[in-house]
Amino acid sequence: MRKKGLQVGTVTTMRSGQVQDNLRPVEFTGELVTSRTDYTGGDDTRGVTESLYKSDGGRYVVYVEDWSKWQGESNTNTLHDATAADLDVGGRFEALGRDAGLGRPLTIDEAVIRPDVEF
């Protein structure tokens, strides 16, 4: 496994061009399992990128980059512990777990649309 270098914190580029940066480095030994990006607003100017890492000790962590290309909007990078439940159906990182092949298939009760449930 390779040493990984990430940064956590927030960066904001002001309209004046001034950059407010409080990023801090994080280092660990592990490997990237998978990564995915969801674009918000229907274009590529804002989004959230989630990257799943497995440390050399077997611990899963998710690196979340909440980003914007717009001046005055912050880019925030955070690191989260990820349990098996977080990566499974209904978990906070379900889509990432599914992309990594770690989630289980839906049960029939989870998949069937019931007429008494509103979306």
Q: What is the pLDDT of residues 42-51, one digit of tens each?
A: 788 899 999 9
pLDDT in tens, 33-92: 999 999 987 788 899 999 999 999 999 999 999 999 888 889 999 999 999 999 999 999
Does a structural domain hold residue 116?
Answer: no
Of 99, 103, 88, 90, nearest to 32 (Cα)?
A: 99
The DSSP call for residue 58 is S
The answer to whether position 109 is within a domain reads no
Q: Let me know if residue 6 belongs to a domain.
A: yes
Helix (H) or strand (E) holding 52: strand 46-55
Mean pLDDT of 101-114: 88
Domain annotation covers residue 115? no
7 touches 24 (CB < 8 A): yes
CA distances from residue 91 to 38, 46, 50, 69, 86 in whole angstroms, order as listed: 17, 23, 14, 29, 4
Query: What pTM did the predictor assign?
Result: 0.84
Does residue 46 form part of some domain? yes
In total, how many domains does the chain have?
A: 1
